[in-house]
Structure 1
Amino acid sequence: MNDSRDENPVSRRSVLWTAGAAGAGIGLGAVGTGGAAAAAAPESAAEDATSAAQDAPKRQGRTMAGVPFERRSTVRVGIIGLGNRGDSMIDLFLALPAVKVVAICDPVKEKTEKASAKVVAAGQPAPAVYTKGEDDYKNLCKRTDIDFVYVATPWDSHFDMAKTAMLDGKHVGVECPIALQLDQLWELVDLSERTRRHCMQLENCCYGKNEMRVLRMAHAGKFGDLLHGAGAYNHDLRGLMFSPTYYEGPWRRLWHTRLRGDLYPNHGFGPVANYMDLNRGDRAVSITSVGSPALGLAEYRAEHMPPGDPSWKESYIESDRTISLVQTAKGRVIRLEHDVSTPHPYSRINSLGGTRGVFEDYPSRIYIEPDHANHQWGDFSKYAAEFDHWLWKEHADPPGGHGGMDYMLVFRLMQCMQLGLVPDFDVYDAATWTSPVPLSHLSIKAKGMPQQIPDFTRGEWKKSRPGMDSEKPKP
């Protein structure tokens, strides 16, 4: 097999972008800058784009680090993508006071009808509906009565939608990952700075109860000086990727025919980046990746898919298990893993270690001095009263999926917009957390050669500033 050839070219016109992955989404188009032409040769395109995008382009605007939202009494939301993810998240927007869903967009009419019914049932006026093809989202973004655009579509559309929203004067939040090319990540950074609009990677795992407790413990010095962390997206998705109904079309599976590296680093990278204050006193400077052979999807297909199924035309190159090491400016090490193609229990690893001890998740356990001794794991729940984040103390039983972290994300984001606060994370975090997608691919192709992670902040990372470990706002 010649794995530099794309056996299955897919454009946004060949699959409906409404699927919106259940936990998040990813869009590639191509790793490099060549659009449809680059999609036919993803690896060479990745090299071209990376070499062109490693050096920071000249800043065109002003930094968005520490920039607050404009205060508003009501947040008016437009939602693009009403598949699995968008359909569940609209419920959370509607559950909040002073949040209005004024417009929705999806090329599948039945999905917009279902969403409209939810809005009306919540006591709000029927939303404006945009369902005339894949580009109708542009008309939603042009509206003058929208403050925030939420994007929950397959991965290859994320960049264009985020870009359009900002150019039309809207703050925008996008499901993972925000874009898959380094030049696109730089363009989103530049657009955010020029338009003064926030562009955020809506990483729900940053709001997990355990993650927020570890964050506050780390900032309180319980782990001593931080040394290492780990995060992952190890989630057996074989059945879902071959399901004829879960994703609309094969778009999710087809990315395994294009890249070898970590397709989905954000869930693991985001929380650990927060623990270590990346872009707020430290930064990620390089990534080194290795990958296993790509065998899992082909084996699953042989056992479960009938002869003649379209999937038999696919040649998979994505490593079944990708392992990456990220080095920070302070010398810390972050291990990232990705595996959605082999049988295993779900894990995001979520580990943090320092000079005073270590936390490991799945299952959660902790060992820190002087609280524990004799090399025996301690009970992590005993730290809840002192270190649980105020969000989890205020919302002990949140609605929605993923253990409540989805609700925490939406609640906090809307709160920041209503009160005119600085968002918990920004476009620089979005670009940093997503950069392992193209860079891990290049590192694997180069037999583990380290790849430089750009400084998307252009030096602002050296300044300490608040992030996820927020104080409860005063009424």
Structure 2
Amino acid sequence: MAGLVPGSAAAAPAGNTGESAASWPVRQGATMIGVAFERRSTVRVGIVGLGNRGGSMIDLFLAIPDVRVVALCDPVKEKTAQAAKKVTDAGQPAPALYTKGDHDFENLCKRGDLDFVYVATPWDWHFEMARSAMLNGKHVGVECPIALQLDQLWELVDLSERTRRHCMQLENCCYGRNEMRVLRMAHAGLFGDLLHGAGAYNHDLRGLMFDPDYYEGPWRRLWHTRLRGDLYPNHGFGPVANYMDVNRGDRVVRISSFGTPALGLAAYRKEHMEPGDPSWKESYIESDRTISLVQTAKGRVIRLEHDVSTPHPYSRINSLGGTKGVFEDYPERIYIEPDHTDDAWADFARYTDWDHWLWKEHANPPGGHGGMDYMMVFRLMQCIRLGLVPDFDVYDAATWTSPVPLSHASIKAKGTPQEIPDFTRGLWSKSRPGMDSEKPAE
């Protein structure tokens, strides 16, 4: 795919802490760091993509007071009709429907009565839809990954600054109960000086990727014929980046990636797919397991993993270590001094007092993924409604997604480190709030 690996200094600025501002693309507007939403009494939402993800997330938008779903878009008319019924069943006015082909989202984005556009479509469309939303004056939140090329990431940063619209990677795993508890503990110094962390998306998706209905075609499997690197780094990278205050006092500077042979999907196809199935025309190059090492300006190390094509239990790893101890997830366990001195893992449930206020207020949230989806939507809508600065911004979106093209480039170069752009253009060293928020006054 053209453009996956940047070839110019503008697309890939120098990655060391001493780089000059001249090596970054010219800023087209003021920074979006610290920029609050405009306060709204009612948040008006448009949803693009009503498949498995969008079709379930609409329930959460409808569950939150002072949020109105105004418009829906999907070329599959039946899905749009089903989602529209959910809106009217919730007592809201019938939403406008956009079903006239793949580009009807552009007409949704042009509406004058929308505050926020939520994108839950196949990855190929994420960049174009985020771009359209901002150019039409809308804040936008996009499912992972937000784009697949470095030049696209830079363009989204530039557009956010130029249009003064927020462009966010809606990373639900940042709102997991364990992730938010570890975040608060890390910021309170319970792990001491932070040294290392790890995150992953290790999820056996073989059956789903060969299911002709689940993904509405082979779009996700086809990415395994295009790239060799980490296709889905955000779930693991986002939480660890938050623990380490990446873009808020530290930044990631380089990534080295290594990949195994691509055998898993072909083996699954041989065992499960009938001769003549369209998948037999595909040649898979995506590494069955990608392992990346990311270094920060402060010298910390983050390990990222991606594996969706071999048999194994689900894990995001979610680990954090420092000079006073370590936390590891899947299963959750902790060891920190002076609480533990017997060389044995301890029960993480002992630390519920460190739960984030969101989890204290919403102990049994609705929705999928253990409640993290609801927490994400609730908090985002709260920030827009109250006119707050969002928990993460376009710089985080670009940073968390950058391993997609960069891991591919590193694997092709036999593990050669790839410099990670400073999307903040030098503002990363300033401490500022992020996910570890204070409860706002209504």
TM-score by length of 2: 0.97
The equivalent residue for 1:474 is 441
- Once the two structures are TM-superposed, the CA of residue 319 in structure 1 deviates from its matched residue by 0.2
Structure 1 counterpart of 2:376, one-letter code: L
CA contact (8 A) 2:173 2:239 kept: yes
- Once the two structures are TM-superposed, the CA of residue 47 in structure 1 deviates from its matched residue by 3.3
Q: Does 1:414 align with 2:381?
A: yes
The equivalent residue for 1:431 is 398
- Of the three residues 260, 263, 281, the one matched with 2:249 is 281
Within 5 A, what are the aligned runs for 1:6-25?
none
Q: Does 1:193 align with 2:175?
A: no
The equivalent residue for 1:78 is 46
The equivalent residue for 1:46 is 4
SS at match of 1:233: strand
Q: Which deviations, in whole Å up to 9, do the C-alpha atoms of 1:143-165 show, x marking residues without a partner?
A: 00000000000001000000000
Q: Which deviations, in whole Å up to 9, do the C-alpha atoms of 1:209-241 show, x marking residues without a partner?
A: 000000000000000000000000000000000
Q: Distance in 2 between matches of 1:247 and 1:221?
A: 43
Within 5 A, what are the aligned runs for 1:55-66?
55=13, 56-66=24-34
Give identity over the alignment, percent.
83
CA contact (8 A) 1:236 1:341 kept: yes
Structure 1 counterpart of 2:78, one-letter code: E
Q: Distance in 1 between matches of 2:286 and 2:383?
A: 38
The equivalent residue for 2:296 is 328
The equivalent residue for 2:234 is 266
Q: Does 1:363 align with 2:321?
A: no
The equivalent residue for 2:125 is 157
Q: Distance in 2 between matches of 1:294 and 1:433?
A: 24
SS at match of 1:256: helix
The equivalent residue for 2:225 is 257
The equivalent residue for 1:227 is 195
Structure 1 counterpart of 2:284, one-letter code: Y
- Once the two structures are TM-superposed, the CA of residue 374 in structure 1 deviates from its matched residue by 1.7
Structure 2 counterpart of 1:338, one-letter code: H
Q: Distance in 2 between matches of 1:440 and 1:51?
A: 18
Q: Distance in 1 between matches of 2:187 and 2:82?
A: 44
- Once the two structures are TM-superposed, the CA of residue 320 in structure 1 deviates from its matched residue by 0.2
- Once the two structures are TM-superposed, the CA of residue 51 in structure 1 deviates from its matched residue by 5.5
The equivalent residue for 1:314 is 282
Q: Does 1:446 align with 2:413?
A: yes
Structure 1 counterpart of 2:300, one-letter code: R
Q: Distance in 1 between matches of 2:117 and 2:183?
A: 28
Q: Distance in 1 between matches of 2:397 and 2:359?
A: 24
Residues 50 and 389 of structure 1, relative CA distance in 2, 3 Å threshold? farther
Structure 2 counterpart of 1:46, one-letter code: L
SS at match of 2:242: helix
Structure 1 counterpart of 2:91, one-letter code: G
TM-score by length of 1: 0.90
SS at match of 2:165: coil
Q: Which deviations, in whole Å up to 9, do the C-alpha atoms of 1:147-192 show, x marking residues without a partner?
A: 0000000001000000000000000000000001000000000000
Structure 2 counterpart of 1:143, one-letter code: R
The equivalent residue for 1:455 is 422
Q: Which deviations, in whole Å up to 9, do the C-alpha atoms of 1:223-278 show, x marking residues without a partner?
A: 00000000000000000000011111110000000000000000000000000000
Name the Cα RMSD after superposition: 0.8
Q: Distance in 2 between matches of 1:207 and 1:59?
A: 31
The equivalent residue for 1:351 is 319
SS at match of 2:4: helix
- Of the three residues 328, 348, 351, the one matched with 1:383 is 351
SS at match of 2:61: helix
- Once the two structures are TM-superposed, the CA of residue 121 in structure 1 deviates from its matched residue by 0.2
Structure 1 counterpart of 2:307, one-letter code: D
SS at match of 1:441: helix
- Of the three residues 185, 199, 210, the one matched with 2:178 is 210
The equivalent residue for 1:395 is 362
- Of the three residues 85, 88, 94, the one matched with 1:126 is 94
The equivalent residue for 2:66 is 98
CA contact (8 A) 1:261 1:444 kept: yes
Structure 2 counterpart of 1:358, one-letter code: V
- Of the three residues 216, 219, 225, the one matched with 1:248 is 216
SS at match of 2:174: helix
Structure 2: runs of 5 or more not aligned: 14-23
Q: Distance in 2 between matches of 1:222 and 1:375?
A: 17
- Report the count of equivalent residues: 432
- Once the two structures are TM-superposed, the CA of residue 46 in structure 1 deviates from its matched residue by 2.9
SS at match of 1:358: strand
Q: Distance in 2 between matches of 1:47 and 1:213?
A: 37
SS at match of 1:367: strand
Q: Does 1:296 align with 2:254?
A: no
CA contact (8 A) 1:50 1:183 kept: no
Q: Which deviations, in whole Å up to 9, do the C-alpha atoms of 1:429-469 show, x marking residues without a partner?
A: 00000000000000000000000000000011010000000
SS at match of 2:5: helix
- Once the two structures are TM-superposed, the CA of residue 474 in structure 1 deviates from its matched residue by 1.3
Q: Which deviations, in whole Å up to 9, do the C-alpha atoms of 1:14-45 show, x marking residues without a partner?
A: xxxxxxxxxxxxxxxx3xxxxxxx3xxxxxx4
- Once the two structures are TM-superposed, the CA of residue 75 in structure 1 deviates from its matched residue by 0.1
CA contact (8 A) 1:49 1:182 kept: no
